[in-house]
Structure 1
Amino acid sequence: MSSPQITTLVKIMETLPVSLQERVTEHLREYIHDLQDEIKWEKSFAQTQSKLVAAARLAKQEITQGKAVPLDYDQL
């Protein structure tokens, strides 16, 4: 079942020459892929957000207590 928006998009696409249809289709594929990646990232972030907040609080507490040391990027 197609939504009205998809039907409209198909009608618009059909008015374009085939070469432009191909270009638009490729752009839409890339755009949709990017959106899917963004959705995955947002879900992943939402699932770990409480852990990130806890880690940030612990880091802030350790800095306040003088337990934190600067990060040595050469040791990474």
Structure 2
Amino acid sequence: MDLPKTTNQPLADNQSSSESLFMNNITKQAHPLFISQLYTTGKYTDLVVKCQGKEFKVHRAIVCSQSKPLAAALDNGFKVM
């Protein structure tokens, strides 16, 4: 799943099918419209997760509330670049 590093397009316009599936699963868990709007606009992102050369611009509160391993890593000195 790869989000563009810097574009003027909404993030949703640059999604692969695997990203769409991932985001569909995430947005169904909370308030779908609210979460979906945060993701598609890219507003207020406060964390960039880098994995295998890809960057994911995300919202720390949302990611950490859904992932105990990422929350623990961020709470305990995980490398922040």
Larger Rg: 1
| Bin for the TM-score computed over the shorter chain | under 0.3
More strand by share: 2
Q: Which has the higher contact order (CA 8 A, sep 6+)?
A: 2
TM normalised by structure 2 equals 0.26
